Amino acid sequence: MTAMFVYGMPDSPRYALVKGRLRDWLCENGIPAMWSPPLRGWRVRLDRLGDVLALAERDGIRVHMKGAVQ
């Protein structure tokens, strides 16, 4: 089972950081995300985050919130 870790990004109010082995899953579901090498995770826009979390739970991905997401 895959896990997704979601972090709030205080330096970027428009994005949340999503970590996990999710590259293929993001592509299959058509979720726009940017890879961030320094943070080693995917940047997802906050206005899409609710949809991403709902799709993840539907597909059986465990979601862990690890920071304050605005």
Question: Token pair 């428009």 is at which residue?
Answer: 14
- Cα separation, 35 vs 1, in Å, equals 22
Distances (CA, A) of 38 to 14, 17, 35, 58: 18, 12, 9, 30
In the prediction, which pLDDT does 12 show?
82
Q: What's 70's DSSP letter?
A: -
In the prediction, which pLDDT does 1 show?
66
In the prediction, which pLDDT does 66 show?
85
- Cα separation, 68 vs 31, in Å, equals 22
- Cα separation, 36 vs 50, in Å, equals 20
Mean pLDDT (10-residue bins), the chain, 70 residues: 87 90 93 94 93 94 82
